[in-house]
Structure 1
Amino acid sequence: MLTEVVAQTIREHGWLPDGSTVLVGVSGGPDSMALLHVLHRLAPRHDWQLAAVHVDHGLRGEASREDARYVKARCGEWGIPCEVEAVNVRSRMRAEGGNKQAVARELRYDAFYRAAQKWGADTLALAHHADDQVETVLMRLIRGTGVSGMTGIPFCRLWKGITIIRPLLQVFREQIEAYCEEHRLQPRQDESNLDTAYTRNRLRWEIIPRLERINPRFKEAILTHSRLAADEEQWWRKQVARVMKQVVERRDDESCVLLVRPLLELDVALQRRVIKLILNCLVQDRTSEITMDAVERVLEAARSDHPSIQVDLPGRVTAVREYQRLWLSRKTGTKGERQISYISPPLPVPGSVDLPFFNGRLTIRLKEGNAFPLKEAGKTAVFDADRLQHSLRVRSRRPGDRMRPMGLNGTKKVKDILVDAKVHRRLRDRIPLVLHGDEIIWIPGVVRSDWAPVTKQTRNTLVLVWEEDLP
């Protein structure tokens, strides 16, 4: 049954014409072993030349080495050439940092490319299946993806001149495991797949089973939604391509310059699509999914009345607004690079948010009455909560900033306030300014404004607590 499903998928997509050379990524687990076995059975019908590649990440000691020996032995039994390559994930992380799974994926794909070059394969078959698709869509949804992220894992994509195909993407895990049992493949089991410290595993073993109790066909519903999103994404790509010439002034592999006015003249849905497409092309950590929060932060910079703003984004990408141009670029890490400005998204009230740009965390609490603790951890300011009319944000200082310090009965330049407080010049751009709308209401550890003081008539109190991270 599984063999015919894979054969039909390959026919429908027009993959693997007769005589093709295909490289199969094989971990030794049930999914990849089933895929390799199915393609091995189909190969004589189409004169396909198969080769396998196994990557030992060196993360599980003897178990990793046993996986490699198992894959090598099975390929030998079936007469399939097999390339086994060991990579050192921990060494790369020590040298360059990064997320373990992201580094492992990067090294694994590098090994895939080398093996494809060795065997002359222009197609790489990977064993992602329907359950992987459901988990991926849910992970992206949790992280704040846009509609495009709901398309999930693509059936096929071009990568470095190699076509990556996923023939099992419509097949569920239980079908794959049944196939392995039927054909006595005895695949290897990776115990880390049971570790619920990983988000994907928590979804797999805890969240999805609960959702299936609500809707037994929950996974099928997610797959249908993913296919619909993929179809609609094709239409959206055409619309984005149509307007890119209107808004992009200059573009290369490292940066893209947008014209602010034409960008803002587009429908807001197109604005988001344009920004997300460019960010996805620039992001340096290729496993990072650009969230809609990042897209909205870029658009807020474009819409701002202030001519100079900088926003730091995931994946070592930065957005800089300079008058009527918006630069989206990869960070170079060059010393002396000018920091223009940072502005946060609207803050949760109540809630807590990490602000790594300022090396700290801001906690916002609401309390009944006008009594509040005199001693809080960190630096504290209190306001009359009923005076809240706009969102709260945190940003860095800008030229010409002024505020109304409590007790001054007038405004004063923020620069002068920081000078008087003896804040070192090199630290001033990293001092957080808390805003109510456009008004600066608090500089933690320095001064609060005269906005919304707590009085005897105050019924609800807004308490802001700033805590700096220790070095």
Structure 2
Amino acid sequence: MRPADPLVEKVAQALETAQMRGKALVVAVSGGPDSLALLYALHTLGERFALRLAVATVDHRLRPSSAQEAQTVARHAQTLGLPCQVFTGEVRAYQRERRLTLEQAAREVRYALLAQAVRSWGAEALALGHTASDQAETLLLHLIRGAGLAGLRGMRLLAPLRVGSASLLAFRPLLSCLRSETEAFCQRWGLTPVIDESNRDLRFARNRVRWQVLPALRLVNPRVEDALVRLANGASQVLDYLDSQVAQVREKVAAPMPQGFLVDKAAWQALHPALQRHLLRDLWEAVAGSPEGLTSAHLEGMADLLAGPAGRRIALPRGVVLESGYSQAWLVRRGIPCPLPTVGREVSLTVPGRTPLNGWEMEARLVEPPVPYREAGPLQAYLDADAVGTPLRLRPRRPGDRFWPLGMPSPKRLQDFLVDAHIPRGWRDRLALLEGEGGIAWVVGVRIAHWARLTPQTRRVLVLEAVPRG
């Protein structure tokens, strides 16, 4: 029986805090001192916490010794009587395909394979060997790269980890330990960690931070890692609060579309600047499918676009673009034909009921006034049912179409309206137009007609909403 080990007791405290008793965990093990210490600590605590453990390791095929190192991990798992999956990742091919740095590509491939292990074992979380030293390095990297406030958010003991379009639960029980503590653990337990020579390759930014930046900072503050970890923890609390505020305003500001979001510029401009930027990051992450790559400079560019005139466009990381119209902006994947509801031919609108469109449904219902039409988003319309009449049709534009935009003194050519509204040329022929007895009552997602608006004389209200399917 080994005497109580300080690192094992820190892991035990983390298991208690995260309420991991009786859980199934996949332990990600590279064979280095951090993950090896985590594996043996969790195995030691397995009976005490009724843990069900499995091991997963990834051979990135970036070094000649990587396959042998993966087999070393498998032998450790066998020694402990634990099941183990060895994955092989094609990192360089993935890097070329996605045009990422080697570090980014390796990370994405690794987590995709580890997520596969979590699913195949039916585990409830992925245990990762990140330490307080990793936390400090990551925070510095984010600051250097201009990630902004979000870059100060540290890794948390238990937190969702986005992997592609899916998410898994990441458990990091070594965040209260420095790297020196995991190395000391391995020495005490007679373990020989794998030495990854690439961890000293100064071509990689993290290694320059580890071997050059942090040693220089320790000359100013010998406990700089502790200071950085405290900063990360404090920032996480602030960001958690901003997350809660974003959750309250998101639906009022941004309407989901099949390939992105339609942003109400006036609603966004009414928010506090901190909330404006936090919401933009949240929306970008949802479209991009990853939190990696967006800097504070990108956020400022997005904010400038939304606060400025129509007709501007900004390209963002991971193939996302933000385009600005008069009252709304579109945050979408680059190259999609049109993010708004479209039609290729005339479609009769069912009232009341639902009418399928290309990737959308148009919901229609009749209500009596008063209605909160001033709260309508760009994908909603509140129209005078008697003014628009029946039957109603959804159709694409035709030569000679005219439209009387809400708030304008008279009708104008639809072509001129779309140009003035800075609707991109490639979208115009496919936009869905709602047509009633008096002509075009709604350019869907853009503006309703002045003649179809609600007035004090309105007796019946036609409520329309375009909703993405699936």
**For this structure pair, what is the TM-score category when the shorter chain's length is used for normalisation?**
0.5 to 0.7
Name the CA distance, whole Å, in 2 between partners of 1:208 and 1:58: 29
Contact 2:95 2:105 in 1 (8 A): yes
Match of residue 201, structure 1, among 204, 207, 229: 207
1:119 aligns with one of 115, 118, 121:
121
Aligned runs of 1:44-443 on 2, under 5 Å? 44-61=47-64, 63-159=65-161, 160=166, 162-248=168-254, 250-252=255-257, 254-284=259-289, 286=290, 288-305=292-309, 307-332=310-335
Shift of 1:69: 1.6
CA contact (8 A) 2:29 2:57 kept: yes
Q: Distance in 2 between matches of 1:11 and 1:253?
A: 41
* Structure 2: distance between partners of 1:94 and 1:272: 31
Q: Which amino acid aligns with 2:330?
A: W
Residues 175-210 of structure 1: CA distance to partner in whole angstroms, max 9, x if unpaired?
Answer: 010000000110101000001111111111001111
How many matched pairs?
A: 329
- Once residues 264 and 270 of structure 2 are traced to their aligned partners in structure 1, the CA distance between those partners, rounded to angstroms, is 10
The one-letter code matched in structure 2 to 1:187 is: P
In the TM superposition, what is the alpha-carbon distance from 1:279 to its structure 2 partner? 1.5
Could you say what secondary structure the match of 2:48 adopts? Answer: helix
How far apart in 1 are the matches of 2:307 and 2:17? 45
Q: C-alpha deviations, 1:397-426, integer Å up to 9, x for none?
A: xxxxxxxxxxxxxxxxxxxxxxxxxxxxxx
Runs of 4+ in structure 1 displaced over 3 angstroms?
93-97, 159-162, 332-335
Aligned partners of 2:277 and 2:299 also within 8 Å: yes
TM norm structure 2: 0.67
Structure 1 counterpart of 2:35, from 17, 32, 35 = 32
Query: Match of 1:199, as an amino acid?
Result: A
Consecutive unaligned residues of structure 1, counting only runs of 5 or more, are 336-471
Secondary structure of the equivalent of 2:120?
A: helix
In structure 1, distance between residues paired with 2:113 and 2:143: 30
* Contact kept in structure 2, 1:55 and 1:87, CA below 8 Å: yes
Cα distance in 2 for partners of 1:225, 1:96 equals 33
Partner AA of 2:306 in structure 1: A
Tell me, yes or no, if the aligned pair for 1:102 and 1:287 is still in contact at 8 Å. Answer: no
Displacement, 1:67? 0.5
Q: Which amino acid aligns with 1:211?
A: L
Shift of 1:95: 4.3
Q: Which amino acid aligns with 2:13?
A: Q
Give distance in 1, aligned partners of 2:236 and 2:78: 39
1:440 matched residue in structure 2: none
For 1:96 and 1:293, locate their aligned partners in 2 and report how far apart those are by CA, in whole Å: 22
Q: Compute the RMSD of aligned alpha carbons.
A: 1.8
Q: Distance in 2 between matches of 1:111 and 1:166?
A: 18
**In structure 2, distance between residues paired with 1:150 and 1:187:** 30
Question: What residue identity is the alignment partner of 1:8?
Answer: Q
Query: Counterparts of 1:319 and 1:100 in 2: how far apart (Å)?
Result: 27
Q: Secondary structure at the match of 2:46?
A: helix
Which amino acid letter does the alignment assign opposite residue 304 of structure 2? E
SS in 2 for 1:238: helix
Q: Closer, same or farther in 2 for the Cα pair 1:96/1:276, shift >3 Å?
A: closer
Retained in 1: the 8 A contact 2:14–2:157?
A: no
CA contact (8 A) 1:26 1:32 kept: yes
Cα pair distance change 1:323/1:161, threshold 3 Å: closer
- For the 8 Å contact 1:155–1:166, the answer to whether it is kept is yes
The answer on whether the counterparts of 2:21 and 2:50 sit within 8 Å (CA) in structure 1 is: no
Q: Identify if the C-alpha distance between structure 1 residues 97 and 272 changes in structure 2 by more than 3 Å, giving closer, same or farther.
A: closer
1:52 match: secondary structure: strand
